Amino acid sequence: MKNFLVHNEDTIKQMCEEIGIKSVEDLFRQIPENIRMGNLNLPDGLSEMETQRKVKKLAKENQSDFITFMGGGIYNKFIPACINQVANRFEFNTAYTPYQPEISQGTLQVMYEFQTMICRLTGMDISNATVYDGGTACAESILMACRIAKKYKVCVINTLNPEYKEVIKTYTYSQGIEVDWVDEIPQNTSEYACVLVQTPDYYGEITEPKKSEDCLLIVCTDVSTLSVLKPPSEYGADIVVGDIQTLGIPMNFGGPSAGFVACKEKYMRQLPGRLAGRTVDKNGNQAFCLTIQTREQHIKREKATSNICSNQALIGLCANLYLSVMGEKGFYQAGYLSTLNAHKLAKKLQDKGIKVLNKNFFNEFVIEVENSDKFLSDLEEKGILGGIKLDEHKILVAVTEMITDEDIDLYIK
């Protein structure tokens, strides 16, 4: 470990003499003074005890004990305590990227089980072992569809999450892909590689898109809704994407999270990221391996499906643990309670004269009020985060199993 120690003065002097300079400062002479940072003007360092005391004092200024009705892609879901305990074991909690063929059997099995669970939820044949988040899942699926269809024009329904839209714009601009942003699926879709639709959409509305024979159908979904709603495979989805934050992942100021891409088996070779498979070793015992690695570090760049390199396997592990601990019954109960609570709140708001704009929704809906800012600030004064402001009169309200009848009554009051 001696190589990781800070260099002492003698070592620094020896290194400078070796390369022909007088001091470390000489290394930076070529950088103009006007763009150099200079002194940071930082206060003196504190002892560990003093630092802890100061951090605790700062932490007390946070206001975190709110009842939250915020959604829009990140939700306050129940997370069993055991998930954090298992996921933080040193065997899993490592900076090592699980992309190499020599990674441990345990990590490979976690990836394989994650793929299996996603396939069971979506009804698709095969899934990858996570991408960064829901936004990159949408963007990667568009690139995937263009490779399959050999077309470079796509259709995206406007009710997609706005953050996902921005990621799509970045990806497609750099790839020269034309995107039509529309309010509903056109009757003629033959010019498109794919149509991408979110259901339930960003505003909470449940739709059942019709599959066209002349282009691929990509469905973006919140996997938690599939505890109650039928899987996208039943209405003809070719590719299913989404975010897994609702599967046991804390909100953590909006991240980190992870996404997934699942598809029909015939499109498997175009999936981004990596896939873990199950096989047998030379002794006939069950073994796991990286079956497909179509990233540019492993194969010819022009053949690569994605340059996604990072690792969301730890988030995928949390999703595995969540689904395993909750089981099919618990997973359904959480989804059912979210729906039940959302419809309770919507009904009471309507009884109070507030307009609910959704016809069919799972656990998220839009309300119309006189003044969004005043409505939300009045609630915040009572310890309630009332929703996401959409415009001056519309608010997106989300309800999960974490909301109680008392919380709903307080919101109404």
pLDDT of 231 higher than 90: yes
pLDDT band at 1 (very low <50, low <70, confident <90, very high): very low
| Amino acid, res. 163 | E
- Cβ neighbours for 98, distance < 8 A, ≥ 6 positions apart: 107, 108, 111, 311, 313
How many other β-carbons are positioned within 10 Å of the β-carbon of residue 19? 8
Tell which CATH classification among 3.30.420.40, 3.40.228.10, 3.90.1150.10, 3.20.20.70 matches the domain 67-78+328-412.
3.90.1150.10
Task: Give me the sign of the Cα torsion angle 304, 305, 308, 313.
Answer: negative
pLDDT at position 252 is 84
Three-state DSSP class for residue 271: coil
Give the mean pLDDT of 322-348: 97
Q: Where in the chain is the domain with CATH 3.90.1150.10?
A: 67-78+328-412
Quick one: pLDDT at residue 298?
A: 62
pLDDT in tens, 19-59: 999 998 898 888 998 888 878 888 889 999 999 999 999 99
Mean pLDDT across the chain, nearest whole number?
91
Residue carrying the six token digits 């997370």: 79
Residue 159 has pLDDT above 50, yes or no: yes
pLDDT at 253 over 60: yes
Residue written as tokens 């994407």? 241
**CA–CA dist 159, 162 (Å, integer):** 8
Residue intervals in the chain for CATH 3.40.640.10: 81-321
Does the domain spanning 81-321 belong to CATH 1.10.357.10?
no
Among 292, 297, 319, which Cα is nearest to 308's?
A: 297
pLDDT for position 334: 97
pLDDT band at residue 107 under the 50/70/90 scheme = confident
Average pLDDT of span 204-208:
95
